[in-house]
Amino acid sequence: MFDSYKHFLDADKTYMQNRHVWEGWLFVNFIAMIAYYKLFNRLRNAELLNKISPKDAIECAKTVYQINIRGNWHRSEITAKSRKFFAKINIDTLGLVVRRGI
């Protein structure tokens, strides 16, 4: 867990100068670790850890987003390979959507 915290989240240095900012930083990183290990467990349960790491799964999920163009929401294209992967680990791709307004 600490290896993931240090190398994947780059959370080994804070550069914080305020106690309240420090506490917020710790809280956000704590939530990030919970999400990371939930994904890790889904990959382990699907027996995919030997093929894909949690970091690779997150990189794959980053390509899924929605964009608002003139009041209409459009979802980015999701490749068949990504769709199949998300289905294997029981993640609804709409749940991964990041909304970006234009």
User: 14-59 pLDDT, tens per residue?
Assistant: 666 788 887 888 888 889 889 889 999 999 999 999 999 988 998 8
The pLDDT > 90 percentage for the chain reads 21
pLDDT of residue 98: 42
If one counts every other C-beta atom within 10 angstroms of the C-beta of residue 72, the result is 7
Alpha-carbon distance of 58 to 98, in angstroms, equals 13
* Inter-CA distances, 5 with 33, 34, 37, 69, Å: 7, 11, 11, 37
pTM for this prediction = 0.68
